Amino acid sequence: MLGQLISRRVVYPTTVALLIILIILEFSFDVPWYVYTLVVLAWFLITLCGSFFIGWNFHMKSWHSNKKIEQNWVSITFDDGPNAEFTPQVLDLLKKYNAKATFFCIGHKIEEHPDILKRLLEEGHTVGNHTYNHSRSFGFYGMEEVKAELEKAKKTVKEHTGLTMNLYRPAFGVTNPSIEKAVNQLKVQSIGWNVRSLDTTVRTEDMVLKRITSKVSKGDIILLHDTSAKSVAVLERLLVFLREKNLQSVTADRLLGIKAYV
Ligand SMILES: [Zn+2]
């Protein structure tokens, strides 16, 4: 993907260099104003996409898959739980199909349902950090605020389980320089995905399932949410599909060969 070649560290200096070249050219030519506008607009659009498409690794490195894996493994991940109604249903299905998953939990929801967190850990799944509040304005937080959110969620899990989480899933998949700095300072591993189900949109169960099954293959990380009946229904059909294709879901840390806890 072209996006994988585009990083902030290349785009920002290139934009500045282009603007300097244009200013120098002004001494010899009359550079039209729209040329400047185009350069700035291109910079803005690339930065915007790079901030929203975690797969670009524009601001920071996240893990999105492990295509070099020899085993027939994929990794199902769930964001935004624990949910009193749906997470237990998800756990029942994972048990039924002998699959393991990673749950990127929201800190304040863990405070409400610590028993569900304990159950998922007892059943061999992994818990990862998905911020404490999952605020809609998270993408506008400064570095200290991002750090505080991650540390609060980390502390919550530590208090309930004794585990120190090493995996972090950016809320909304948004990354930026503040999040990059916080992740580096806290030395956590950022986990993205390469198969996005879009299960939280208006898409039907069939459409969500097809989005996954039309592209999933060995080494992929799948994004789902343990927050709706639709996602639970998709999960059961996905687990049947994976079994037919001889693919096994394992935790993200196992797929990637990294530590879930430190
Ligand atoms: Zn989320």
- Rounded to 10 deg, the angle between the 177-186 and 143-161 helix axes is 40
Output the CA 237–ligand 1 centroid distance in Å. Answer: 23
Output the CA 231–ligand 1 centroid distance in Å. Answer: 14
Output the CA 240–ligand 1 centroid distance in Å. Answer: 26
In three-state secondary structure terms, 122 is helix
Dihedral-angle region of residue 164 (phi above 0 means left; psi in -120 to 50 means alpha; beta otherwise):
beta
pLDDT digits (tens, 9 = 90+) for 1-26: 555 568 999 999 999 999 999 999 99
Output the CA 4–ligand 1 centroid distance in Å. Answer: 23
CA nearest to 128, candidates 252, 255, 4: 252
Output the CA 172–ligand 1 centroid distance in Å. Answer: 5
Output the CA 18–ligand 1 centroid distance in Å. Answer: 37
Output the CA 89–ligand 1 centroid distance in Å. Answer: 19
pLDDT digits (tens, 9 = 90+) for 20-56: 999 999 999 899 999 999 999 999 999 999 999 999 9
Cβ density class 12-42: b for 16+ within 10 Å, e for less = eeebeebeeeeeeeeeeeeeeeeeeeebeee
Q: Please answer whether residues 220 and 65 qualify as being in contact, where contact means their C-beta atoms are separated by less than 8 angstroms.
A: yes
What mean pLDDT comes out for the span 79-100?
A: 98
Output the CA 98–ligand 1 centroid distance in Å. Answer: 25
Output the CA 170–ligand 1 centroid distance in Å. Answer: 7
pLDDT digits (tens, 9 = 90+) for 154-210: 999 999 999 999 999 999 999 999 999 999 999 999 999 999 999 999 999 999 999
Output the CA 165–ligand 1 centroid distance in Å. Answer: 17
φ, ψ for residue 164, nearest 5 deg: -105, 110
Beta partners for residue 75, in sequence order: 221
Output the CA 171–ligand 1 centroid distance in Å. Answer: 5
What are the residues whose beta carbons fall under 8 Å from the beta carbon of 70, sequence distance 6 or more?
none
